[in-house]
Structure 1
Amino acid sequence: MSFQRRGLKAAFAGLFLLAVFVRPLPAAQPLAETFTLNNGMQVVVIPDHRAPVVTHMVWYRVGSADEPQGQTGVAHFLEHLMFKGTTKYPAGAYNRLIRENGGDDNAFTSKDYTAYFQRIAKDRLGLVMDLEADRMQNLVLKDENVLPELKVVEEERRERTDNDPSSILGEQLDAILYLVHPYRKPVIGWSTEVPNLTRADAIAFYKAHYTPANAILVVAGDVTVDEVKKLAEEHYGRLTNTFDVKPRERAKEPDPVAPRRVTVTDARAASPIVQRSYLSVSYATAEKGEAEALDVLAEALGGGATSRLYKKLVVEKRIASYAGAWYTGDGLDSGTFGVYGSPVPGGKIEPVETEIDAVLADIKANGITADELKRTKATLLASNVYARDNQGNLARAFGTALTTGTTVADVLEWPDRIAAVKLEDVKAAAAKVLDIRRSVTGVLLPAPGSAAGGGEPSPPSISNSSQQ
């Protein structure tokens, strides 16, 4: 398994960059064309002719939020099992063929989607399409390859969550922020449910969600639309749907009426951390311009060394080692807006939280300045341009958007919408989202007398599985 464990700033930078990747690319992007195969599978092609390489991704509109009751982690478990082989390509053949042809591959699961991707020379595109199309419908699962993989998933949970105090805090924050919506469940599954997953559970989930009409093919790289269309029709177009795809129906989260709070005390925590999440809209659920204003607000409030929180807590007051904010707007049903901070060595958490509250109150009352708006827009748009330099980012932008309720046009038009954000838009967004009744505050504390040993906030709740 290949899992990245990042520090606090890197973790939230990752959150920011992930959001950038799912955002619209400038209109100067050469082409992003979409078409649909006869079986309902949507295809997006993003030409990038700088090198004879392609990134091929298959996205399924299913994630941990779509799991049956009592089977948390089955979406991620099935992601692992998709590498266990078919009759045509037995166990081990998939990875062997990718490596022999000079490519690399990976997969990841989130709350709203599951994706599989390969990066390979353009003349091998037909090979990876054949491999991916075959396992979309012909996966062979036996107890002898399912049960050992379940042990691997259990170990991942212990490594990524149970042994990481900040991940434990993050898991608790989600569970408390959402009362009924399935976003409250961890992608990797609850420790009490993962060991009980079975081959039958995985097969049932596979048969219920993996079919062409529930999938999106994204190809970025040294290809033309006509080349991709010919290969896609040859390999994916021949597949028939095994069920009728219906809109995803999930429990609706009630409007929050009171703030919530959780404290985790752990001997392995290196230093105290305060982290607050607000339930917010996502790009798919927001009113026009609202999500863009939240992106601007998060960057101005806590996007880096020039942000409001960092300057106030770290530079001026010198009470925090770091402080920042983030907005994740790529959820199908909702988003989250968050702030965080950690005291200087030997400091207390209470002054940090108090100062965060003061900064938030000022933002709500007065908004941000014209200079902050200008600087923030420039930062967001520059980061978007930098993200285009990697064709994997290009592919991921469109795949994430199309599995979470937005469109290719939304992706392409995002820079113009960011440029259109006004000071009053940011102030209105702050007044709406920074309502303490819509929040959960989490505090991570080292156990009294414990030695430092961890405690950095965890990465976003996406599981990346590298099958070797």
Structure 2
Amino acid sequence: MRSTLLRFSFFFLMCSPFAWATPGNNPSNTHEYQLANGLKLIVRQDNRAPTVAHMVWYRAGSIDEVNGRTGVAHVLEHMMFKGTDKVKSGEFSRMVAAVGGRENAFTSRDYTAYFQQVEKSKLDEVMKLEADRMSNLNFDDAEFLKEIQVVMEERRLRTEDNPNGLLYESLMATAYMSSPYRYPVIGWMNDLENMQASDARDWYRSWYAPNNATVVITGDVDPQKILQAVEKYYGVASAKTLPVRKPQLEPIQKGIKRVQVKAPAENAQLAMAWKVPKLEPGKLDNPEPYALELLAAVLDGYDNARLNRALVKEQRVVNDVGVGYDMISRGPELFLINVTMAKGKTVEQAESSIRKALNEIAKNGILDSELKRIKVRILSDQIYKRDSIFGQAMEIGSTEMAGFSWRDIDVMLQKMETISPAQVQAVAKKYLVDDGLTIGVLDPQQRKSSEMKKGVQ
């Protein structure tokens, strides 16, 4: 777990508010179009290398799921590779590889995305493939029955046999009462066991439409030629009436919550999650989300950050520290701190040390030099990201899916630059309190002899 400051490119220098502009961060290089069927196209021209990243983002993730059908967004991601009337099952990946490209897909709480990265002359070929499965996915029940077993095994490996996964899953289900963020993206095992091919087809028919999709293309391209190609391939898809999205607002938490998870593990773990605000579209002036991002970096943004220095190096009460916060998202947000106990140390000791570090910031604040150091470090980290064709596409797409415009990114960066140590102190004091806190503890259990023998083999 780590801060998602890296979601944004913090190209700002202390000497000038506009010194962070780079070739990949020039609005004149980025073009936005809207097709007649509702599909949004964003093209960023970057001619430094003859490659192109092609991504299709659907604004449909686990946040759109309902009880009894959790995990269906991720299952459909798998099924999208199972063929159309023109492309047989398994052929999609083979055809991308045949033109020297790489491809994959991923599902999150907020969206599902598919991508290919190819040499620029091969863009039309992968665009044609992706546009085909936007409208013409066609898989049979037998393919579904095979693939759902793959997904269930993925859940076993990532969650049920993974103490970290079990703790995080229980923490989310405890912290959230009504928000679908309480569901695991991969779904509950019982829902996967009872899922039918018709559930995946219904999801596809409901959400996979051009008016619920954003195509992002970055790299060595001519925007006008890209628009013509996108209209040719994607423009034939028909818009749909999308399901009504219910707000499902999270009730105000009125006291500390705790959950304990017993699982085979070497060391105990502690996770602390506070309800905190996020940035809202159209309200970019709110300083609190920016201050929370910087607070995450103060605590865990570099090797000698406060929690790592105090808990790992000095007190040696934990082996590692992680801090996480998403400033932008479709649902409610948490400020997370996760630690793994050192041998002979207890979760009570770790919780006490974390509280002491947080109280120190709430009481005495942080140094101006400390905040400047963090910003400069972020700058150096992000130059490499902006140098990546794929990284630029990821930044644009994830921002759009959260309900913001790619144009907002630079505004966010400028707002971030203005945050003061006093504002960081203020959010620590206001939000990292017990009334909005959920605590998860992993109680390590000794592995059964059969599991130990299996591990040796």
- CA separation of 1:277 and 1:394: change in aligned 2, threshold 3 A: same
Partner of 1:132: 130
Q: Any residues of structure 2 matched to 1:384-395 within 5 Å, and which? A: 384-395=382-393
Which residue among 95, 101, 120 is the counterpart of 1:103?
101
Which residue among 375, 378, 387 is the counterpart of 2:376?
378
Partner of 1:312: 310
Partner of 2:163: 165
- CA separation of 1:204 and 1:247: change in aligned 2, threshold 3 A: closer
Q: Which amino acid aligns with 2:246?
A: E
Partner of 1:256: 253
SS at match of 1:193: helix
**TM-score for both structures, normalised by structure 1:** 0.89
Q: Any residues of structure 2 matched to 1:424-463 within 5 Å, and which? A: 424-447=422-445
Does the 8 A contact of 1:21 with 1:394 survive in 2? Answer: no
Which residue among 178, 181, 186 is the counterpart of 1:180?
178
SS at match of 2:132: helix
SS at match of 2:190: coil
Does the 8 A contact of 1:174 with 1:184 survive in 2? Answer: yes
Q: Which runs of no fewer than 5 residues in structure 1 stay unpaired?
A: 1-11, 455-468
Instruction: Give the superposition deviation at 1:318.
Output: 2.6
2: CA distance, partners of 1:49 / 1:247: 41
Q: Which amino acid aligns with 1:176?
A: T
Considering Cα pairs closer than 8 Å and 6+ residues apart, tell me whether 1 or 2 has the greater RCO.
1
Q: Which amino acid aligns with 2:87?
A: Y
Does the 8 A contact of 1:71 with 1:197 survive in 2? Answer: yes
Partner of 2:365: 367
Taking every aligned residue pair, what percent have the same amino acid on both sides? 36
Partner of 1:297: 295
Partner of 1:20: 6
Instruction: Give the superposition deviation at 1:389.
Output: 2.1
2: CA distance, partners of 1:195 / 1:324: 33
Partner of 1:466: none
Instruction: Give the superposition deviation at 1:448.
Output: 5.7
Q: Which runs of no fewer than 5 residues in structure 2 stay unpaired?
A: 12-19, 453-457
Does the 8 A contact of 1:63 with 1:111 survive in 2? Answer: yes
Does the 8 A contact of 1:86 with 1:135 survive in 2? Answer: yes
Does the 8 A contact of 2:134 with 2:209 survive in 1? Answer: yes
The range that moved more, 424-433 or 195-204, is 424-433
1: CA distance, partners of 2:169 / 2:443: 16
Partner of 1:231: 229
Instruction: Give the superposition deviation at 1:78.
Output: 0.5
Does the 8 A contact of 2:250 with 2:332 survive in 1? Answer: no
Which residue among 264, 274, 287 is the counterpart of 2:270?
274
1: CA distance, partners of 2:199 / 2:113: 19
2: CA distance, partners of 1:321 / 1:248: 42
2: CA distance, partners of 1:260 / 1:252: 19
Does the 8 A contact of 1:24 with 1:397 survive in 2? Answer: no
Q: Which amino acid aligns with 2:295?
A: L
Instruction: Give the superposition deviation at 1:209.
Output: 0.3
1: CA distance, partners of 2:385 / 2:419: 21
**TM-score for both structures, normalised by structure 2:** 0.91
Instruction: Give the superposition deviation at 1:404.
Output: 0.8
1: CA distance, partners of 2:244 / 2:421: 37
Does the 8 A contact of 2:66 with 2:180 survive in 1? Answer: no
2: CA distance, partners of 1:173 / 1:294: 20
Does the 8 A contact of 1:341 with 1:353 survive in 2? Answer: no
Does the 8 A contact of 2:63 with 2:331 survive in 1? Answer: no
The range that moved more, 348-357 or 208-217, is 348-357
Q: Which amino acid aligns with 1:27?
A: A
- CA separation of 1:449 and 1:189: change in aligned 2, threshold 3 A: closer
Q: Which amino acid aligns with 1:270?
A: E
Q: Any residues of structure 2 matched to 1:51-66 within 5 Å, and which? A: 51-66=49-64
The C-alpha deviation readout for 1:272-296, integer Å capped at 9, x for no partner, is 1111111222233676222111111
2: CA distance, partners of 1:236 / 1:387: 29
The C-alpha deviation readout for 1:417-438, integer Å capped at 9, x for no partner, is 2211112221222123212211
